[in-house]
């Protein structure tokens, strides 16, 4: 079997450590600002060092007596006698031990060519009248619209590649198609009428990812989707528990979850908030920046290979947004994931953390290439940045007819979205993007042996009694146990609300029970009995975003948490009030 995709998996995480770091932990290299993995929480890194050093010493003593059987043996050899303990070396050694146990960490890139997304277009709607209902012209028109609905292109003409370990910044004015582009790359296709063109996740097709590897490609919306009463540690532990592989190099599931949670909370500076509720608008919890880092850590705990983050800096101040992007840079470098981020307002220090940038102008790709060359590309085109204007603002301003500044004396300039797209395809950067695209496709796309190796690696992570084609790693009983424990934790997180709900439910049961008391046992009472089912609707949709997020991330199936289609069941099948 060809091990092409597995050969792309490095023996150590991609951690930049050779150049000198600044006081903030940022490292400049290849015109991209990388971030040291200890910069967000140096004290937490020191504490984790001491914990892992003790564990490593215990393993050394165990190995002196018997063979390599300890559940914590992945840390063996990190300290290495008198060699000082290194946190970066810890991550490298953990991955090396996983490879020695033939456990391969998967990487996944995304490549797209001639990408076009179509949505249903809005048409004029008129209030129907009695006469219009019987007008044969309207009947024929409605039939034609049903057979050939009006569609419009949301985005078209996109081509490029985002490789593992790269960060892509998507820029554009609101309504230009940034969200559509991110959802398409994240394999969320049901919301659109048609998606044309080629999209490949290395040697996997979008249908393969949807059916078998849903948790490997994740989409994170603007708002952070978390259960507010769960603590940070409980949130990360649940994600790590439901995505724990079956083969763990001698570790137990509990030790694997604890180790992964400790490492993620340390890297993203969340150790001091581990016992703090995540919170929401009604429940006090962690800050906005910390909640963003919880989302990143949860994505890594779920072991996602591709992450699409849609305008996640909305509502954050400049320093918190920079802290969030630095955390994304750490995740991308350390775990070699593919990161795609859309931001509407990006400062210069934030912009420098990205490898590539994609500029969207009314659904057209005006630029796709290195982030450090985008500014000069549009300056050479004939546009000038305003005084002290950041690169990201300058790029977005170029797509605004009222906001761009042309260089005096330059007459022939691209002005429409189509002209910008054609100009880029004919430019040297467009040719370089095309060359990288073709090279990546020739190397990684359409390789049956590579796809088979990726599938075999994923199937080896499934627990017993799990279908090989399933996107979930845990069996049904294991999923039920996990969600039952989470439900208890949710209730313990807000005992006052639980008590008030119990009182409210009992009070409503008495009132509603008296309303439906002695209702006739006949079909004539179905209408009145069915009205009580509407009282279940608020409880059904309270946590709807959280359940959808869990299902998209392949944590567990939605009905395992007690969600059933109660309003759809006949009234005679439900308990009587």
Instruction: Of 360, 454, 376, 23, give the one whose Cα is nearest residue 368.
Output: 360
The per-residue pLDDT for range 24-49, each reduced to its tens digit, is 555 555 567 666 655 555 665 566 65
The per-residue pLDDT for range 540-565, each reduced to its tens digit, is 666 666 666 666 666 666 665 655 44
Distance CA 212, CA 458 (A): 9
Which strand (E) or helix (H) includes residue 528?
A: helix 526-530
Which strand (E) or helix (H) includes residue 288?
A: helix 288-301
pLDDT at 344: 83
Instruction: Of 397, 338, 425, give the one whose Cα is nearest residue 158.
Output: 425
Angle at 193 between CA 191 and CA 194, to 5 degrees: 110
Say yes or no: domain 232-351 is CATH 3.40.50.300. yes
Find out whether 264 and 41 touch, Cβ atoms under 8 Å: no
pLDDT at 327: 83
Instruction: Of 185, 122, 124, 132, give the one whose Cα is nearest residue 155.
Output: 185
How does residue 6 score in pLDDT terms, banded at 50, 70 and 90? very low
Backbone angles phi, psi at 306, to 5 degrees: -130, 130
Average the pLDDT over each of 141-155, 354-368, 370-384, 420-434 and give the range with the smallest value: 141-155
Instruction: Of 166, 192, 167, 161, give the one whose Cα is nearest residue 179.
Output: 192
> Which tokens is 244 given?
């724990």
Kindly provide the b/e burial profile for residues 4-36, where b requires at least 16 CB atoms within 10 angstroms of the residue's own CB. bbbebbbeebebbeeeebeeebbbeeeebbbbb
Distance CA 313, CA 349 (A): 14
Q: What is the pTM of this model?
A: 0.75
The mean pLDDT of the chain is 77
Average the pLDDT over each of 170-179, 359-368, 453-462 and give the range with the smallest value: 453-462
How does residue 76 score in pLDDT terms, banded at 50, 70 and 90? very low
pLDDT at 425: 94
Domain ranges in the chain are 4-22+31-100, 232-351, 494-573
Task: Identify the residue with better confidence: 397 or 501.
Answer: 397
Instruction: Of 371, 331, 350, give the one whose Cα is nearest residue 39.
Output: 331
Distance CA 199, CA 204 (A): 9
Distance CA 92, CA 99 (A): 11
Residue 240 reports pLDDT greater than 50: yes
């Amino acid at each position: 079997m060809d091990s092409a995709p597995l050969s792309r998996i490095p023996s150590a995480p991609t951690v930049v450590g050779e150049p000198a770091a600044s006081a903030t932990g940022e490292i400049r290299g290849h015109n991209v600002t990388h971030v040291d993995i200890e910069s967000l929480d140096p004290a937490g890194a020191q504490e984790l060092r001491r914990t892992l050093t003790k564990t490593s010493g215990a393993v050394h003593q165990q190995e002196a007596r018997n063979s390599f059987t300890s559940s914590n043996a992945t840390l063996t050899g990190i300290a290495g006698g008198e060699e000082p303990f290194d946190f970066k070396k810890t991550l490298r050694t953990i991955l090396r031990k996983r490879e020695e146990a033939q456990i391969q960490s998967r990487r996944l890139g995304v490549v797209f060519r001639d990408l076009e997304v179509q949505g249903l277009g809005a048409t004029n709607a008129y209030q129907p009248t009695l006469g219009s209902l019987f007008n044969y012209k309207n009947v024929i028109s409605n039939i034609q619209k049903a057979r050939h609905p009006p569609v419009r292109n949301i985005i078209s003409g996109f081509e490029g590649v985002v490789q593992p370990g790269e960060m892509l910044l998507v820029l554009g004015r609101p309504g230009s198609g940034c969200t559509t582009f991110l959802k398409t790359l994240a394999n969320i296709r049901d919301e659109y009428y048609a998606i044309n063109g080629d999209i490949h996740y290395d040697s996997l097709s979008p249908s393969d990812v949807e059916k078998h590897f849903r948790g490997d490609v994740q989409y994170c919306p603007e708002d952070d989707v978390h259960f507010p009463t769960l603590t940070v540690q409980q949130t990360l532990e649940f994600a790590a528990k439901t995505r724990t592989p079956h083969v763990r190099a001698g570790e137990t599931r509990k030790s694997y979850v604890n180790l992964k949670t400790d490492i993620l909370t340390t890297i993203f500076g969340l150790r001091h908030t581990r016992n703090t509720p995540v919170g929401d608008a009604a429940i006090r919890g962690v800050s906005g920046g910390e909640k963003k880092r919880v989302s990143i850590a949860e994505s890594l705990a779920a072991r996602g290979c591709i992450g699409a983050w849609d305008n996640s800096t909305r509502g954050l101040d400049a320093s918190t947004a920079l802290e969030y992007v630095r955390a994304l840079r750490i995740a991308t470098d350390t775990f070699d994931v593919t990161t795609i981020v859309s931001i509407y307002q990006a400062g210069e220090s934030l912009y420098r953390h990205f490898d590539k940038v994609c500029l969207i102008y009314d659904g057209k790709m005006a630029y796709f290439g290195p982030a450090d060359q985008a500014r000069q590309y549009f300056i050479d085109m004939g546009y000038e940045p305003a005084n002290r204007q950041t690169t990201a603002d300058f790029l977005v301003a170029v797509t605004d007819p009222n906001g761009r500044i042309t260089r005096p004396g330059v007459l022939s300039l691209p002005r429409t979205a189509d002209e910008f797209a054609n100009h880029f395809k004919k430019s040297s950067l467009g040719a370089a993007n095309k060359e990288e695209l073709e090279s990546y496709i020739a190397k990684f796309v359409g390789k049956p042996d590579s796809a088979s190796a990726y599938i075999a690696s994923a199937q080896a992570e499934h627990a017993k009694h799990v279908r090989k084609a399933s996107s979930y790693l845990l069996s049904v009983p294991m999923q039920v146990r996990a969600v039952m424990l989470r439900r208890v934790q949710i209730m313990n997180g807000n005992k006052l609300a639980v008590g008030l709900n119990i009182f409210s439910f009992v009070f409503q049961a008495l009132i509603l029970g008296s309303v439906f008391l002695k209702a006739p046992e006949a079909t004539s009472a179905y209408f009145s009995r069915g009205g009580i089912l509407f009282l279940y609707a608020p409880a059904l949709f309270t946590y709807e975003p959280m359940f959808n997020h869990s299902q998209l991330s392949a944590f567990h199936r939605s009905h395992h948490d007690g969600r059933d289609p109660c309003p759809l069941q006949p009234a005679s099948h439900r308990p009587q009030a």
